Amino acid sequence: MMFPAMVQLLDFWAEWCGPCQIMKPVVEELERELKGKVEVKSVDVDADPNEASKFGIMSIPTFVVLKNGKEVGRKIGVTSKTELMKLVNS
């Protein structure tokens, strides 16, 4: 039996990060649109530094796309919803 690939979008951010705040509504909109297809997980790098270091996050915001637990895409910095959607669909 084949299960559809589990796709996750990890959003690495912090409260004090201006660009992260700019991206917040974009990520929330994407989350609503992809509900049931993509799991969106926000990772506060201050609250969860282990998760950030596991992915080698050097600057934020960073968006990482995982398919079945393997990284298949990454984008750093402020980006458009269209670009994020392309990343998720890659």
What is the set of active-site residues?
A: 17, 20
Q: What tokens appear for 81 in the block?
A: 């919803």
Q: What is the phi-psi region of residue 36: left when phi exceeds 0, alpha when psi lies from -120 to 50, beta otherwise?
A: left
Whole-angstrom distance, CA of residue 24 vs CA of residue 15: 10
Q: Which helix (H) or strand (E) holds 85?
A: helix 81-89
